[in-house]
A = this chain, B = another copy of it.
Amino acid sequence: MAEKQGDLQIGEVAQRTGVTQRTLRFYEEKGLLRPPSRMDGGFRLYSEEDVKRVQHIRRLQDLLGVSLADIKEMVDADEVLRELRSQYRPESAITEKRKQLQKATDVTKAQFAIVKQKTEQMREMETQLEERLKLFARWKQELDELEKKAAPSRG
């Protein structure tokens, strides 16, 4: 198997996502990334989808600050989503589908709750910091004027 058009080796993926190759292998090991296809010699071949996935994982890490285990749960829900998208499937599996959909919904709702709560608190913090900056600005003003009075332009 030669390198298929559009596929990426691990080095390129690392560059484009800003993580190390070690991290990519680590994510694979932990089940956060599906094992990619390989070249004949064993080199990993990633797709654009994989790149997006990595970026998604990083966003979750950075923004939510949750563990990779939790993130795995979340991206697994993504996988379910993709699977469900391939509608054409045995009708017998409809109960299964329903279960998967339920699971995905639950996970997403949980995630949504976290995000909502955090945005809320972040906004609070944002205004607090804003207030503080204003306060600092006023103090600086006062300092400036104090200095002007203490040592009026002696030039």
Residue in B81, B126, B136, B150 whose CB lies within 8 Å of A105: B136
A34 at the A/B interface (Cβ < 8 Å)?
no
- Rounded to whole angstroms, the CA-CA distance of A123 and B116 in the bound complex is 8
A125 at the A/B interface (Cβ < 8 Å)?
yes
Closest residue of chain B to A81 (Cβ to Cβ) is B132
Stoichiometry, as copies per complex, reads 2
Tell me the count of chain A residues lying within 8 A, CB to CB, of chain B: 37
Is A150 a contact partner of B91 (Cβ separation < 8 A)? yes
- Rounded to whole angstroms, the CA-CA distance of A132 and B106 in the bound complex is 12
Mask, A106-129, CB within 8 Å of B = 1, is 001101100110110111011001
> Would you list 22 pairs from A and B whose C-beta atoms are within 8 A, ordered by A residue?
A59-B125, A63-B121, A81-B132, A94-B143, A94-B150, A101-B136, A101-B139, A101-B140, A104-B136, A105-B133, A105-B140, A108-B129, A109-B133, A112-B126, A112-B133, A115-B125, A115-B126, A115-B129, A116-B126, A118-B122, A119-B122, A119-B126
